[in-house]
Amino acid sequence: MIVRIMGEGQVKLADSHFAELNKLDDELLEEMESGDEPGFRRTLHALLDKVRELGTPLPDDALEPSELILPSPDATIAEVRDMLTDDGLIPG
């Protein structure tokens, strides 16, 4: 599957890692909803590290959509909330 890290580009990783990432992703959502900024930061960085470690970068000229999209490392809870609730925020 293909994962995008916002601000960094896309990586490809084996579908077998999906379960592992999924667990972290659910944690991330919980921390976002409870407003736990330090926890959110920790989990986000754990997720990013995993994706970077397990994935290989896609070439710049690839035109494939990503199945999963991760916020950039310095994104705040508020920014991510905005992205999830208001798709008008994403310039198209």
Which residues in this chain contact another protein in the complex, by CB under 8 A? 3-4, 6-7, 9, 21-22, 24-26, 28-29, 32, 47, 59-72, 80, 83-84, 87, 89-92
With beta carbons less than 8 A apart as the criterion, state whether 24 and 50 touch: yes
State whether residue 13 is helix, strand or coil. coil
The single residue listed with the structure tokens 């994962």 is 3
Q: How far is the CB of 45 from another protein (least distance, A)?
A: 13
Q: How far is the CB of 82 from another protein (least distance, A)?
A: 10
Among residues 14 and 63, whose Cβ is nearest to another protein? 63
Q: Whole-angstrom Cα distance, residue 85 to residue 58?
A: 28
Q: How far is the CB of 31 from another protein (least distance, A)?
A: 9
Contacts with 20 (C-beta within 8 Å, 6 or more apart), sequence order: 50
Among residues 15 and 87, whose Cβ is nearest to another protein? 87
